[in-house]
Structure 1
Amino acid sequence: MRLSREFVSARIMGRRRRAGALVVTAAMAATTVATGAAAAPAGAAGGFYTPPARFAADPGSVIRTQQTELLLQIPGVKGQWPGTAKRMMYTSTRDDGKPAAVTGYVVEPTAPWNGKGPRPTVVIGPGTVGQGDQCAGSKMLSLPLSVDPAKPSIGVNYAGLEMNLLLLNGVRVAVTDYIGMGTPGIHTYVNRLESGRAMLDAARAALKVAKVPASSPVGFSGYSQGGGAAASAAELAAGYAPELNVKGTYAGAPPADLNKVIDQIDGTFISGAIGYAINGLAARHPELGTVVQKETNAHGKQVLKATATECIGDTGLLHGFERSRQWTRTGTSLSAVIKRYPAVHEIVDDQRIGRLKPNAPVLISTGVADDVIPNGQVNQLYRDWRSQGARVQLATGHLPSILPGMVINHALPMLEFLLPASSFLLNRFNS
């Protein structure tokens, strides 16, 4: 039987919200135990995340690096398995053309590369982890779960699933934290230009950190927010980073049309992620911030302020199943508010992916019952790229709807396409 979002909301909220928090915390703890790590605050990297007063403005420049532990140090084994990690800070470009210092990490695999040509590099764009600086994946390399009881906040670095699979195949991996995640300023969540550029510049920087030729083969990969970043990188590469030797991209469940994604996510367990998008876009477009201040009520302003410093677990537990109409002074959804202001609608529409042609093959994945990223707008991205002559494949998962709004139908396809995505990239490097 298909349960409505309202029914699920009623059953989960109230007295059961506390139980839900315990379940999520237990699940995260299980992840940590499985890796042999213990929960700890994510701020151990100290001042690494504060950019110098001056740094190289050229995109992809390496500002600094820092050796760091990666998950487990195996007793008696020289080096680390499955690779040796370095945090990096590098230069990228904001959508207004200004340089930005971005953090991330590079992992050199222990396993040899037995494929064709030189060892390739894959840049991974993490899925939605939050908007607070404590959520940055590069702060959770040795401890994939971070619990900060003082805030409180729960952060999880789940990019490790795909990262480890690639490392075991001898592929070098770089992961970006994106602009404003860990570093000063707001994280510009789902900003098309800044996400794609952060991925492309992470590739440039990773090749320099690894001290390999700039012509070495690279690929891009990501799911959800990361799928959008990878898709953006794929179509920006020809114009922004033409020197990169891009072999292929995997874009899982990409939010290609933000207007449709906002409608879909509204009222789900992670509806507060709408706040991430509004906060990030308002930081670059003051006119949007003015409209938001005018149209939101006191509760809406509080939610937007809170989400700017939260990880996704915090956001779900604190704002889950809320509808954006609860945040506005008129009781209409934020989507409806956006449509009333042409200038704001244009800002959101500018985030649309699919208007440029990727310069290398792309695999897109989607689930027919995805309750976060609408299946229809993913299919439209496929058609948009195909119409431009791009080499693109579409993989569709047919998992039936399970508790809509609980994000189950968004999370499970990520696991379903993990192996096919890795195989696609490995085949591209060997072609």
Structure 2
Amino acid sequence: MSVRTRISIALTATALATLTTAIPAQAATSRGVTIPDFYTPPAALPAADGTLIRTEPLPLALSLPGISGTLPGRATRIMYKTTDSTGAPAAVTGAYLEPAASWKGKGARPLVVLAPGTMGQGDQCSTSLALQRGLILGVDDGQTTVSIGYEVLAIYRLLAKGIAVVQTDYPGLGTTDRVHTYVNRVDSGHAVLDAARAARALPGTSITATSVVGLYGYSQGGGAVASAAELQATYAPDVKVTATYAGAPPADLAAVTEGIDGSELLGALGWSVNGFAQAEPGLQPLLDRYLSDSGRAALKDLSTMCVGDAIFGYAGRRSTAWTTNGKSLTDIIKAEPLLRTYIGKQLIGTRKPAGVVRVATGVFDDLVPHGQARTMAAAWCRLGGSVVYAPVTLPWTVSPLLNHFGPLLTDQGTAVDWLSDRLAGSTARSNCSVIPLLP
């Protein structure tokens, strides 16, 4: 080979290498929505739970100019490290919101970790993205998506009281490296507690070492904060949880599975199964045995859906259409010891919670059944927990979805006021002794 030929080959190789490195990585998309690069975790994660991985300013879709800054406050998008239910490191995104309003209570400005209710399983459904865009719409090859950031109501109510808020997106909801492990007790509880740690590490905030911490969540979020209150003593003793509002918590997934099947929110069963398969790969052979081709197609479809998409696409259907033998997921769980064991590990109500907890649940909620939430509250009482049980009575409707979300709206103001009072130092008297007398 001549010198000229070798030089030509070397130059060509250099040019190709330069061209290759110059081509940017293709942006992640979900159902026609581009997921910002921020949500793609780095290859290596820090060791300590709650460590900030990256941050950036987060423009709010709903904000107003104020004399000293935007109202209701200034937002920062965050990514932080947590540990998932398998013991592996995971990156989680969310948002910290510094309120424009001053704190009128005692002591330093408090911090509330808000765990969102059901948003879906697609990365475009994350609450932090919804805070920026408000309404998210997408179309891709016949697939559509719609997501509304409804948690802004609770977040802005807390900000108006001068309470700092950090919300978690949960593992896999937003971050593009994994499937969201929907209603996984450990994943969600760890993500809530590590969000508090991440907020404390964020520079330029009014949070101090003496700021007390509260937890707020309804539905999926109610389960997440209930789990966090249980796990605090062993996983995050440095996060001093003063009070928790746990609304309509899915504490017993076996009961919730039965309540959701055939309802407007059947899609939540698909999200649960997808999450189970990621968190516990040993379940995959069982899923392969029982899932039909239509079932596998439905689960794949649901894995990129938001809650609105699932309602439009799967409302009123039953899980019997997803199985090879025509049995429901509830029946299969009852028949399979491995599944029963896994579901049993998700039970909330087996450990004394930190601080005082207000458990609110709609008496006629048949989507996330009232009875299992009441059972959790009573179990906490027996463990010595400080519990304020608040049954919410609204007229029954034929719609399980309305029976579930009605209390979210009617009890929200009371819940925010109750949590604010606890963070301001006012005590709450447990009503454990009268729970047997309450609906």
Partner of 2:188: 195
Structure 2 spans left out of the alignment, 5+ residues: 1-30, 426-439
Query: Structure 1 CA distance, aligned partners of 2:137 and 2:184?
Result: 28
2:78 to 84, 88, 97: 88
Match of residue 151 from structure 2: 159
- Whether 2:241 is the aligned partner of 1:249: answer no
User: In 1, are the aligned partners of 2:233 and 2:354 still within 8 Å (CA)?
Assistant: yes
Query: 1:251-290 CA deviation, whole Å, 9 max, x = no partner?
Result: 0000000000000000001111100001001111122222
Letter in 1 for 2:423: F
Corresponding position of 2:198: 205
Aligned pairs for 1:130-279 (under 5 A) are 130-150=120-140, 151-183=143-175, 184-209=177-202, 210=205, 212-279=207-274
Q: 1:349 corresponds to which letter in structure 2?
A: G
Counterpart code for 1:79 = G
Q: Is the 8 A contact 2:77 2:96 kept in 1?
A: yes
Residue of structure 2 equivalent to 1:412: 406
- 1:281 maps to 2:268: no
User: Helix, strand or coil for the counterpart of 1:140?
Assistant: helix
Q: Closer, same or farther in 2 for the Cα pair 1:368/1:212, shift >3 Å?
A: closer
Q: When the two structures are superposed, what TM-score results if normalisation uses the length of structure 1?
A: 0.88
**Residue correspondences, number:** 390
Distance 1:360 1:224, change over 3 A: same
Partners of 1:192 and 1:387 in 2: how far apart? 21
Q: Which residue is equivalent to 1:297?
A: 292
Listed as ranges, the matches of 1:322-341 within 5 Å are 322-341=317-336
Maintained 8 Å contact 2:253/2:346: yes
State yes or no: 1:52 paired with 2:42.
yes
| 1:215–1:245 contact (8 Å) kept in structure 2 | no
Distance (whole Å) between structure 2 residues aligned to residue 310 and residue 120 of structure 1: 35
Distance in 2 between residues matched to 1:265 and 1:130, nearest whole Å:
15
Spell out, residue by residue over 1:67-118, the C-alpha distance to the aligned partner (whole angstroms, 9 max, x if none). 0111334357552100100000000111111110000000000000010110
Q: CA deviation at 1:404?
A: 3.0
Instruction: Check the 8 A contact 1:214/1:243 in 2, yes or no.
Output: no
Contact 2:72 2:159 in 1 (8 A): yes
What is the Cα deviation at residue 384 of structure 1? 0.5
Contact persistence 2:33–2:139 (CA under 8 A): no
**Greater displacement, 164-173 / 420-429:** 420-429
Measured in 2, the distance between the counterparts of 1:162 and 1:44 equals 27
TM-score, normalised relative to structure 2 = 0.86
Q: Distance between the aligned counterparts of 2:156 and 2:88, measured in 1? A: 34
Q: Percent identity among equivalent residues?
A: 44
Runs of 4+ in 1 over 6 A off after TM superposition: none
On the 8 A contact 2:110/2:207 being kept in 1, the answer is no
Distance 1:281 1:91 in 2: 21
Superposition pairs of residues 90-109 of structure 1, within 5 angstroms: 90-109=80-99
2-structure distance, mates of 1:396, 1:162: 20
CA distance in 1, matches of 2:347, 2:210: 30
Greater shift, 107-116 or 44-53, is seen at: 44-53
Q: Give the whole-Å Cα distance in 2 for the aligned partners of 1:44 and 1:324.
A: 31
* Superposed CA offset, 1:310-363 (max 9, x none): 001111111111111111111111111111110111001110000011120000
Structure 2 CA distance for partners of 1:237 and 1:75, relative to 1, 3 Å: closer
The 3-state SS of whatever aligns with 2:133 is: coil
Residue 400 of structure 1 and its aligned partner are, at CA, apart by 2.2
Q: Is the 8 A contact 1:272 1:322 kept in 2?
A: no
1:271-420 matches, cutoff 5 A:
271-405=266-400, 407-420=401-414
Amino acid at match of 2:171: I
* Structure 1 spans left out of the alignment, 5+ residues: 1-40
CA contact 1:43–1:139 (8 Å) conserved in 2: no
| Pair 258,65 (structure 1): closer, same or farther in 2 beyond 3 Å | same
RMSD: 1.5
> Is residue 2:430 matched to residue 1:430?
no
